[in-house]
Copies of this chain bind each other. A is one copy, B any other.
Amino acid sequence: MPDPSTLFESAGIGDRVALARLLSLVERGGDESRSVAGLAFKSPGEAYTVGITGAPGAGKSTLTDHLIATGRQRGLGTADHRAAGADGPVGGGQVAVLAIDPSSPFSGGAILGDRVRMQSHALDDGVFIRSMATRGHLGGLSVAVPDAVRLLSAVGVPIVFIETVGVGQQEVAVAAAADTTMVVVNPGWGDAVQANKAGLLEIGDLFVINKADRPDTRETRRDLELMLDLTELGPWRPPIVETVATTGDGIDQLWEAVRRHRRHLLDEGLLEEIRHRRLVRELHQIVGLHLEEQIGALMETEDGRRITGAVAAGDLDPYAGAERLLSSLLSIPDDGSVDL
Contacts and interface: CB of A to CB of B under 8 A. Distances in A.
B322 A287 contact: yes
User: How many protomers of this protein does the assembly include?
Assistant: 2
A287 B325 contact: yes
B283 A313 contact: no
Nearest to A40: B317
Contact of A312 (B276, B286, B306): B276
B38 A330 contact: no
Given A332-B329, A340-B306, A317 B38 contact: yes
B283 A318 contact: yes
Contacts of A41: 317
Interface string A321-335: 110111111111101
Interface stretch (A186-194, A254-262, A290-298): A290-298
Contact of A308 (B280, B302, B335): B280
A337 interface: yes
Given A287-B295, A337-B303, A340-B310, A319 B37 contact: yes
Given A286-B318, A329-B330, A332-B328, A340 B279 contact: no
A304 B306 CA distance: 33
Contacts of A338: 301, 303-304, 306-307, 324-325, 327-328
A332 B280 contact: no
A299 interface: yes
Contacts of A34: 319
A295 B288 contact: yes
Nearest to A326: B290
A287 B287 CA distance: 15
Nearest to A323: B290
Contact of A286 (B306, B319, B330): B319
Interface on chain A toward B: helix, strand, loop, or mixed SS?
helix
Given A302-B336, A319-B34, A324-B339, A314 B284 contact: no
A69 B306 CA distance: 43
Most B CB contacts (10 A, CB to CB) among A283, A322, A337 go to A283
Contacts of A308: 280, 283
Contacts of A237: none
Contacts of A318: 37, 279, 282-283, 286
A311 interface: yes
B332 A331 contact: no
A287 B326 contact: yes
Interface string A236-273: 00000000000000000000000000000000000000
A14 interface: no
A57 interface: no
Interface in A49-103: none
Contacts of A214: none
Given A312-B280, A324-B339, A324-B340, A297 B44 contact: no
Interface of A: 34, 37-38, 41, 44, 276-277, 279-280, 282-284, 286-288, 290-292, 294-295, 297-299, 301-304, 306-308, 310-314, 317-322, 324-333, 335-340
Given A303-B337, A306-B338, 7 more contacts: A276-B314, A279-B314, A280-B312, A287-B322, A301-B332, A324-B338, A330-B331
